[in-house]
Each structure stands twice: as structure tokens, then as C-alpha cells.
Amino acid sequence: MPLAEQMLEALGVDAPRDVATLGAFYRAWVSSVPFTNLEKALAARDGRASPEADGVALCERWLANGGGGTCWSQVSAFGGMCEQYGWRATASMERALWKGPQEVDFHGSVVLAGDGDERLLCDVIHPSGEPLPICAAAEGRHGPYAAGLRRDADGVFEHWFHHPARDAASYRVLSLDLGPDDVGAMVRVAEHLTGVRVDRVSWRRCPADAVVSVRSVGRLWADDPRPEPADPTALEFVRWSVDGSVETRSGAPEQLFAAAGARCPEVTAAAAARVVGAGHEGACNVDDGEQRFG
């Protein structure tokens, strides 16, 4: 069975051939495929090329053991699948506005066009429930998460999001037209800029009624306000529900990932143990992902 069909079967949705089925596919994706730094961190630990430009590898990894990726590999995977079903896919390039000049951070979303002129933005990291029409005042919700688009004083799009654990933040949209080679270049740039530390765990998915996460206790990135923990290997489970409640628990990593709905908790816990035991931060080289959908 072709890889795209395997993904659809595992996600339990129909092929995204129109706006309605695209929305169902989008929601199933963010509910199931985790945003995580584990693969990126292990590549840095092992001195291997980063997998973050290879969307096909992400799909193969998720089907095999529930692995996920950061925004660029998810953009490549989600966009590549949509292209199999008639959509024209590019990627956005977005700069985090809450970062200072010395802490540049970039983000990418999937940009889709069908038969008409309308273009849709699918952010598979900061979900909006439905794909967003690329126009001012577009917004949506997915459980406790909210996201949308607006124009700034210069008329440039800002892509904002509201994670339930933090104040609303936004990106300045620099482009809507990145192709596969551009995404590979952005991964190379991102590897040398600030982001989630490669000796800490960040794992998150967004089912319809909550945001669930397993993460390192303590600072995940440079401007994380949380204090450093006494035990740098400690993990915590956090669930932010749509009713505003927050559940936090500690425990054995495999139990935490099982509670978070990881596809293969024992595999994910083993990967997390390697990451928090790495004891270093670093960058790594990147290869472009080969397109193998079909």
C-alpha cells in the first residue's frame, strides 16, 4: 500500500480531496502526530544528519513507532500528502516576534491551493481546527488552542496563536511560497539558531478536547521562565483541557507517554531517556528529504 494511503488508514480519515475532507485530515493529524524534538535531538547527540527536512521519514517513523518531528518535517509530510490528492502545496516562512534580535526563531506552516484562487494555511503545530483562509481576521480553535491571521501596521500578515499555557504570541509571515529546497535550507538555518534544547524533551499532541504534553522539568529554551530542576532527567505529563483545567503528574516515562497517547510509549520513553542523558547541546548537518510519497 502506498505510504500516503497507509497514513490515511492509520489516522482513520478519507483522502483530503476537498475542503471538508482536508479539515478532517488536518484535525486527525494534529491529534495524532506529535510535535517533538526527540528525533532532532538524537541526531545531534549521535552526530547524524537531522531528519527535519524529510517528511517521508516522519511518516514512516510515525507508522512504525509513533515518532514525530518539529515544524519543518511536519510541513514536508503534511504538504507532501496533500499534493498526492490534488492540492498545490508550499510552505510559509515565519519569524517569531516574541524573540529578541539575538534569539531569532523561524516557523513554517503548510500553504495549500486548490482549483480556485483561495489559499489555505494549515499550521500543524499551532492548530486552528479548520484550515485558515489566508486573509485578515481569519481565526479558528482546536480544543483549548486558538490561532489566526491579521495584518500589522505595514500590511504584513501576522500569524498568531494562543497555547493554553502561555500568553498569545505571533509570527511575522515573511513568505508563503517556500518549495522543498527552501524548506531544506530553512532547516539548515534553524539548526544554528535558538530553539528547543537538544538535551531536553518536548513532546506534544493536540486531541480535540485538550493539549497533552510530556516534557522535561525545567527550561526547554533560552527564554523559558521555569527554573532548572534538581534532576535534569526528570519528565512531567501536562494536560490542558478545553474547560480550563490543568492536570500535571510525574512518574515513569513510559507511563507518562502512555497517558499522553503516544503510539508506542515504550519506544518514545527509550528515546527520551537517551536525549536527557546526552548532557550536551549541539547542532548537526541536514540533508534534504527525498520525495517518496505515492
- Record the cell numbers describing residue 238, joined without a space: 501536562
Condensed to tens digits (0 to 9), the pLDDT of residues 257-274 reads: 999 999 999 999 999 999
- Amino acid 282: pLDDT: 38
Q: Delineate the domains of the chain, giving CATH numbers in brackets.
A: 3-276 (3.30.2140.20)
Condensed to tens digits (0 to 9), the pLDDT of residues 163-172 reads: 998 888 999 9
- Amino acid 286: pLDDT: 31
- Amino acid 293: pLDDT: 36
- Amino acid 92: pLDDT: 97
- Amino acid 197: pLDDT: 63
How far is the C-alpha of 87 from the C-alpha of 32, rounded, in Å?
A: 22
- Amino acid 225: pLDDT: 72
Amino acid letter, 155: G
Whether 171 contacts 41, CB under 8 Å: no
- Record the cell numbers describing residue 124, joined without a space: 500543524
How far is the C-alpha of 103 from the C-alpha of 74, rounded, in Å?
A: 23
Low-confidence ranges of the chain (pLDDT < 50): 194, 279-294
- Amino acid 233: pLDDT: 85
Whether 128 contacts 142, CB under 8 Å: yes
